[in-house]
Every structure is written in structure tokens, then in C-alpha cells.
């Protein structure tokens, strides 16, 4: 029995999101690697060298996202994913086999290039395969698999830490080497899955594109009304884009509609980092220790935090196409603001390291961290990948998503470098920054972000050209309904034609 088309699309998206799994795993495992006894004994790294081990990964990801903007259009979505996976395997092997700290840093840079490319191209590929009614659910897999990767990293790293002798290099080589396995599987098997039909049609492979649409939506039936309606819409949109699309980066931002989308997606990715998620990821374990929580309990609470994130991401996949994009993003930022406000008050009233801090302060800080993580994972995090992947037209999608992803990695690097310095010099006052930013994020997206859920990709130009800048005054148009109407017309024509053929056949007899 053949899978229902939407389940098939979801499973293709799930396999592609192995690239995001690698991102989450690598981010999660490196903190445990640089703290392991055998790693410190072998390399004796300085603070700056350890900082470079972490920073070079996101620096490489920045450049990987840039390259993906060109590779995705030139080589295709699948080939770009395969190439990125191969680069990541090389980077992982360099890390696992590192004989000196420079060797390891080079591996981090190479692996970062692979991850940056995958993080840019995978949600784009997912969005181009998906039916409009489940596009959010499929592209949300990016954040969900990132969380799965981080969870696996925390327990694999812990297992290797306690399972190998403190003088055994396998304590850090094994967890670094294991990340090559999922990346290798992704690179080797991605060509068993369909190419983006939009990329195929855009590059003159019209018949292949039609067949891919049929494979995705109708078990291979190229005469299916939905397939024909979407195929005609893609061709019409691409003809318009080829006549009017931007050919250079300069032209890309000169077009008002394109500039607005780029501005919104860059702001979205920047705003996500200014929620404070990276600051919490990097610093909350230290705060746990400083407010009197044991190392064992710190590990336990962090593992629970990872599970909470996955629950939030799973819920997002279930409801994001029903609730839309605007209000979940606005609500998430407001709840994040409240969490940071409470956390700021707790850190000010009960400073880490101060003797006599009550147990209630510990519980309160842990609770705010967990609630923030759930709020972020259920909306703001996934939407930072969903929205950029869906708002651009085919001609500008690769470059637009590339630019937004580059901003994400640049801001991530900045927050990671600034946070320990800020916490040392200004302490709890640093949290005020994120309290304010979460609130202003909510106001910003309430005012400027139009609703994009259930809008066919080929109708995004119309949406962004016609929607006013002040989003609350937008009159929502049913673009999906228009496509469904075209589908019904094709269905009616096919039924009429079939009936005529039947009548003629009867007369001939």
C-alpha cells in the first residue's frame, strides 16, 4: 500500500533534516569534549585556543551558508546537500583524528562549512517539496532534529566521559568520530529521494519537474488536478521571475518586495539570537553550579531541559500550520521576555556564589530556564527556519535564505563570545538586554510580519507586493483557495472530457 502523499513528503523532509541533527550534535558534543580529562591532558589548551575550537565552527558555518546560496541554484538542492555532508565527514574525521590543537581547529572550521551549507539548503529543499498545508510542519523538522542531535550528544558525551579512562583519548575521539556516520548516510542516500521540482523546472528539466510533482502529490499521476494546477502555477511564476528577477545582490535589494523579505528574514534570524537562547545554552550550567547545584544535578537538569526542548519542537510540528506564523512568534517572544524578567530578578536578589541562597531561588531559576526553553523551542526557534524558507520566490530563494542563515551564525558567534565577558563584568544586568529585546521582538513582528502560512510558494510575490508594511491592517487573501479553485476547474474539465469520450465510445459500438 502506497504512503499518502503528505506522509511521503514528511518522510523525505525528515531524512533531509539529518543535516540539522549533525548541527545539534556538534554544538552539543564540543562543550563536553573540551572539558574531558584526556583532551585537556593531551592538548593543554589555553582559554583562547578552547574559544577558537568553538568559534571556528560557527565561522565556518557562516561561509558555508554563503556558498550554499550559489551552489543550491547551480548544482541543485540534493547535490548541495550531498556535497555539504561530504565536507562535514572530512571535518569530523579531522577532529576525531586530531594530533594537535591546530589539527582539531581545522576540523572544526571544515565541519562548520558543511553544517552551514546544510542548515541553509535543507529547509529550502523541504519547503519546495511540501504541500502548502503542511509546509510548516515539514520545515519545523529543522529545529526538531537539531534538538534530537543535541540530546544524543549530551548522553553520548556523558557515556564516553564515564566509560573511558581519563587518560584514554577515546573519551573525546569517539564522540567526535560518531558524527561522521549520520552525515555519511545523508550524503550517500539523498539521491534516492526526489530533487526539488521547482529547481528542475527552473533549469529546463520540465518533464522531470512534472514527474517529481506527481511523485510527491499523486503517486506518480501526472494528470492529477492538483499536480497540473501547481505545475502550471510554477511555470507561470518562473516565466515572470525570469523577466523581472534580480540578477545580482544589488538588484536583489533594490526591488521593494525583495528588500522587505530580506529585511524581515535577516531581522528574524538576528532576533532569535537576541532572545538570549545562546546565552542560556552557554552559561546556565555555570549558573547552576554557582547557585549551589551539584555537578550531577546540573547534568540531570540539562538533560531534562533537552527533553523539554524536543517536546516543544514536536508540539510546534503538530500545530504550526493551524496557528499560523505571526501569533506563535509574537507569543513566544512575550513569554521569553517574562522568563528573562523573572530570571533577572532572581539573579539580582540571589547572586550566584552568594552563601545562604535559598532552595527556592534555585528552583525558580531552573523553572524559568525550562519555561524559556519550551517557549523558544515551540515557536521562535522553528519559525526562524520556517519563514525564510517559504517567503522568497524561486529565483531569489537561495540567496535570500543564504543571507538570513549567515546572519544567524554571525549573531550566534557574537553572543557566544560576548556572554562570558558580559556576565563577568555586568552580571545580572546582562539579562536586562534580553528582557528588552524579547519584548521589542514581539512588537516588531506584530507590526511588520504578514501571515505566510498556507500561502503557495508561487503566491508569495503577490502577498509581499500587496500587503501593507503595517501588518495588522493586512486583509488576508485566500491564495491557497485560488489554487484549489484552479484544481477544481482542471478536475471538471478532465471529468467532462472523460464523459465525452465515454459517450462517443458508446455511439461507436
Could you give the CA distance from residue 22 to residue 119 in angstroms, rounded to a whole number?
A: 10
* The predicted structure's pLDDT at residue 425: 86
* The predicted structure's pLDDT at residue 285: 65
* The predicted structure's pLDDT at residue 244: 67
* The predicted structure's pLDDT at residue 53: 79
Q: What is the mean pLDDT of each run of 10 residues along the chain (509 residues)?
A: 87 95 88 79 78 83 94 94 97 90 90 95 96 95 93 85 85 92 96 96 94 95 93 90 67 82 95 88 67 67 84 95 96 96 88 74 86 95 95 90 93 82 84 95 96 93 92 88 87 75 64
- Residue 376 near residue 415 (C-beta atoms within 8 A): no
- Residue 434 near residue 369 (C-beta atoms within 8 A): no
138 Cβ neighbours under 8 A, 6+ residues apart: 9, 10, 13, 126, 127, 129, 130
* The predicted structure's pLDDT at residue 223: 92
To 10 degrees, the CA torsion angle through 340, 342, 346, 349?
110
φ and ψ of 222, to 5 deg: -75, -10
Could you give the CA distance from residue 333 to residue 489 in angstroms, rounded to a whole number?
A: 43
- Helix axis angle for 5-16 and 206-217, nearest 10°, is 110
Could you give the CA distance from residue 382 to residue 295 in angstroms, rounded to a whole number?
A: 30
- Residue 184 near residue 98 (C-beta atoms within 8 A): no
* The predicted structure's pLDDT at residue 422: 83
* The predicted structure's pLDDT at residue 252: 73
Q: Which residue has the cell 546582562?
A: 430
pTM: 0.91
* The predicted structure's pLDDT at residue 295: 57
Neighbours of 389 (CB within 10 A): 29
Among 340, 439, 320, 335, which residue's Cα sits nearest to residue 382? 320
261 Cβ neighbours under 8 A, 6+ residues apart: 391, 392, 400, 460, 464
* The predicted structure's pLDDT at residue 247: 58
Amino acid at each position: 500500500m502506497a504512503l499518502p502523499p503528505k506522509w511521503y513528503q514528511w518522510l523525505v523532509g525528515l531524512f533531509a533534516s539529518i543535516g540539522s541533527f549533525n548541527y545539534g550534535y556538534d554544538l552539543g558534543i564540543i562543550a563536553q569534549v573540551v572539558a574531558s580529562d584526556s583532551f585537556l591532558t593531551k592538548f593543554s589548551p589555553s582559554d583562547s585556543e578552547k574559544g577558537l575550537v568553538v568559534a571556528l565552527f560557527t565561522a565556518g558555518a557562516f561561509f558555508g551558508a554563503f556558498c550554499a546560496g550559489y551552489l543550491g541554484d547551480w548544482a541543485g538542492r540534493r547535490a548541495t546537500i550531498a556535497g555539504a555532508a561530504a565536507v562535514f565527514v572530512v571535518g569530523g574525521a579531522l577532529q576525531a583524528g586530531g594530533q594537535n590543537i591546530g589539527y582539531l581547529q581545522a576540523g572544526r572550521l571544515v565541519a562548520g562549512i558543511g553544517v552551514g551549507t546544510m542548515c541553509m539548503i535543507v529547509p529550502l529543499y523541504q519547503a519546495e517539496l511540501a504541500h502548502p498545508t503542511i509546509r510548516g510542519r515539514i520545515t519545523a523538522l529543522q529545529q526538531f532534529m537539531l534538538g534530537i542531535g543535541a540530546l544524543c550528544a549530551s548522553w553520548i558525551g556523558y557515556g564516553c566521559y564515564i566509560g573511558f579512562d581519563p587518560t584514554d583519548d577515546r573519551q573525546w575521539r569517539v564522540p567526535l568520530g560518531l558524527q561522521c556516520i549520520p552525515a555519511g548516510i545523508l550524503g550517500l542516500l539523498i539521491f534516492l529521494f526526489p530533487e526539488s521540482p521547482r529547481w528542475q523546472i527552473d533549469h529546463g528539466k520540465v518533464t522531470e519537474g512534472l514527474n517529481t510533482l506527481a511523485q510527491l502529490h499523486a503517486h506518480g499521476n501526472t494528470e492529477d488536478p492538483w499536480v497540473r494546477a501547481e505545475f502550471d502555477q510554477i511555470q507561470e511564476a518562473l516565466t515572470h521571475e525570469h523577466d523581472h528577477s534580480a540578477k545580482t545582490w544589488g538588484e536583489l535589494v533594490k526591488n521593494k518586495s525583495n528588500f522587505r523579505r530580506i529585511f524581515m528574514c535577516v531581522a528574524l534570524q538576528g532576533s532569535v539570537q537576541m532572545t538570549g537562547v545562546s546565552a542560556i545554552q552557554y552559561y546556565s550550567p555555570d549558573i547552576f553550579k554557582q547557585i549551589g547545584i551539584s555537578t550531577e544535578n546540573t547534568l540531570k537538569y540539562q538533560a531534562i531541559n533537552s527533553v523539554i526542548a524536543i517536546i516543544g519542537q514536536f508540539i510546534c510540528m503538530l500545530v504550526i500550520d493551524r496557528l499560523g506564523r505571526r501569533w506563535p512568534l509574537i507569543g513566544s517572544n512575550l513569554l521569553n521576555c517574562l522568563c528573562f524578567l523573572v530570571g533577572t530578578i532572581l539573579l539580582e536578589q540571589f547572586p550566584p556564589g552568594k552563601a545562604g541562597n535559598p532552595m527556592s531561588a534555585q528552583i525558580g531559576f531552573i523553572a524559568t530556564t525550562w519555561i524559556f526553553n519550551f517557549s523558544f523551542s515551540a515557536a521562535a526557534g522553528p519559525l526562524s527556519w520556517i519563514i525564510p524558507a517559504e517567503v522568497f520566490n524561486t529565483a531569489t530563494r537561495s540567496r535570500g535564505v543564504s543571507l538570513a542563515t549567515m546572519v544567524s551564525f554571525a549573531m550566534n558567534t557574537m553572543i557566544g563570545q560576548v556572554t562570558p565577558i558580559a556576565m563577568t563584568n555586568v552580571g545580572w544586568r546582562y539579562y536586562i538586554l534580553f528582557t528588552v529585546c524579547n519584548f521589542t521582538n514581539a512588537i516588531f513582528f506584530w507590526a511588520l510580519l504578514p501571515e505566510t502560512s498556507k500561502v503557495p510558494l508561487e503566491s508569495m510575490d503577490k502577498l509581499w507586493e500587496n500587503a501593507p508594511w503595517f501588518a495588522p491592517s493586512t486583509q488576508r487573501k485566500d491564495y491557497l483557495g485560488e489554487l484549489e479553485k484552479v484544481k477544481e476547474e482542471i478536475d471538471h474539465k478532465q471529468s467532462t472530457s472523460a464523459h465525452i469520450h465515454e459517450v462517443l465510445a458508446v455511439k461507436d459500438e
